[in-house]
Amino acid sequence: MIPLSVAASAAQSAALHERLFTIDTHSDTPTASFLREGWDFAARHDATTDRSQCDLPRMREGGIDALVFAVYVGQLARTAEGLRRAHERALRCFERTHAVLAANATACGLALTADDGLRLKAEGKRAIYLSIENAYSLGRDPGNVAKFHALGVRMLGLTHMLNNDVADASTDPRGAEWGGLSPVGREIVAEANRLGMVLDASHASDATLRDLLAVSRAPVVLSHSGPRAVADHPRNVGDELLRALAAKGGVLHINALPISLVNAPGNGRTAGIAEVLIQFKDHVLSPETLAAENHAYAIVCAAHPNPPVTFDDFIRHIEHAVAVMGIDHVGIGCDFDGGGGDFEGLRDVTDYPNITRALVARGWGEAALAKLWGGNTLRVMRAVAGKRA
pLDDT tens digits, 58-82: 999 999 999 999 999 999 999 999 9
What are the structural domains of the chain? 4-261+307-386 (3.20.20.140)
The C-alpha atoms of residue 196 and residue 266 are separated, in whole angstroms, by 42
Question: 313-327: per-residue pLDDT in tens?
Answer: 999 999 999 999 999
% of the chain beyond a pLDDT of 90:
95
pLDDT at 29: 98
Mean of pLDDT values over 147-154: 98
Confidence of residue 5 (pLDDT cuts 50, 70, 90): very low
Confidence of residue 328 (pLDDT cuts 50, 70, 90): very high
The C-alpha atoms of residue 19 and residue 265 are separated, in whole angstroms, by 41
Mean of pLDDT values over 17-31: 98
Tell me the CA distances in angstroms from 361 to 13, 35, 231, 372, one per residue in order: 9, 40, 24, 16
pLDDT at 10: 79
Mean of pLDDT values over 25-29: 98
The C-alpha atoms of residue 184 and residue 167 are separated, in whole angstroms, by 9
In this predicted structure, the answer to whether residue 286 has a pLDDT above a threshold of 80 is yes
The C-alpha atoms of residue 61 and residue 200 are separated, in whole angstroms, by 28
The C-alpha atoms of residue 168 and residue 150 are separated, in whole angstroms, by 26
In this predicted structure, the answer to whether residue 378 has a pLDDT above a threshold of 60 is yes
Confidence of residue 1 (pLDDT cuts 50, 70, 90): very low
Residue 209 burial (10 A CB sphere; 0-12, 13-18, 19+) = buried
Helix (H, G, I), strand (E, B) or coil at 266: coil
Considering only CA atoms, give the Rg of the chain.
20
pTM of the entire predicted model: 0.96
Closest CA to 71 of 114, 108, 41, 27: 27
Confidence of residue 372 (pLDDT cuts 50, 70, 90): very high
pLDDT at 387: 86
Q: What is the mean pLDDT of the chain?
A: 96
